[in-house]
Structure 1
């Protein structure tokens, strides 16, 4: 049986997410995390959720590229904004379910800015490290 190990790139992603999340808690009053450990757990949750979202977006883009008819291409393309908005709602809902009042990521626009910042920081750090 093969042993599952955490990849170094995943640890770097969590560290980057933690730094960005802590910066957001300092800069935006509506973003609240009660402690460092809560922020770390939130960063891990964000890592897992964003990996799933990136995978799902990749699948949708693959369907757009592989669509044989215009109708299939348009239908798949319409799934992208639904997935984008739904992903922010999913993040807000999961953090509420898992952490309750200990973590508040703001509203839709704050979490959208947070996710964009997380993905940008992740890309920049991966570019520097690679």
Structure 2
């Protein structure tokens, strides 16, 4: 089956933007390891695997976050909006602990991403770099 004949609902994975995201994450992760002593990757190969892990985790977190935000918008009462806001906070804060736990389970002493605040900063920079790169490479940029 040719790609043009595939159903629209089936997305090829990894898509080009997913690969670019991983490359961007590798660059950011290695720059963080170079300039911040609390971020450590033992080798370039391990940093690539860490970037893939971060890509997968952040994709799941973004999907969950978007679902929670959509539910919060649909909430009719104040209680629903408050619960939605708390749920969003749990997802965003909890994701950092998921990243730290997975990093420890998968890589042990080969990778150290720092503590909660270091990971929060790293993830913010990853997301900004991802968005900046996507805008830079967007076909309709002109």
**Runs of 5+ unmatched residues, structure 2:** none
- Count residues with an aligned counterpart: 130
Which one has a bigger Cα radius of gyration?
2
Alpha-carbon displacement from aligned partner over 1:55-83 (angstroms, at most 9, x marks no partner): 11101100111112221111011111111
Q: Distance in 1 between matches of 2:74 and 2:25?
A: 33
Q: Distance in 1 between matches of 2:71 and 2:88?
A: 11
Q: Distance in 1 between matches of 2:62 and 2:52?
A: 15
Bigger RCO of structures 1 and 2 (CA < 8 A, at least 6 apart): 1
Structure 1 segments, 4+ long, off by >6 Å, are none
RMSD of aligned alpha carbons = 1.4
TM score, norm. by length of structure 1: 0.95
Return the structure number with greater helix share.
1
1:117 counterpart residue number: 125
Alpha-carbon displacement from aligned partner over 1:74-119 (angstroms, at most 9, x marks no partner): 1011111111111101100000000011000011111011000000
Alpha-carbon displacement from aligned partner over 1:17-60 (angstroms, at most 9, x marks no partner): 00000000001001000001000000000000000001111011
Give the secondary-structure state (helix, strand or coil) at the position aligned to 1:114: helix
